[in-house]
Amino acid sequence: MSLRILKCPKCASYALDATCNCGGVRVQVNPPKYSPEDKYASYRRKFKEMQKEN
């Protein structure tokens, strides 16, 4: 299990597991483009802080 999100090219589903339910193999997707008006940045920072505590 990886910590990055993976996407199945066959059925376009997203998950953390490398194998898909459709029988395909999920691959890493490109990171989102940087935006100064990032509306999800606060959630990412909270998630990283939670990971550091564990």
User: For the chain, which residues make up each domain, given as ranges?
Assistant: 1-30
Rounded Cα distance between 11 and 23, Å, is: 9
- pLDDT above 70 (res 2): no
Q: Say what the pTM is.
A: 0.51
Q: How far apart are CA 27 and CA 6, in angstroms?
A: 5
Confidence of residue 43 (pLDDT cuts 50, 70, 90): confident
Sign of CA dihedral 10, 13, 16, 17: negative
Pair 14, 4: CB distance under 8 Å: no
Share of the chain above pLDDT 70, in %: 94
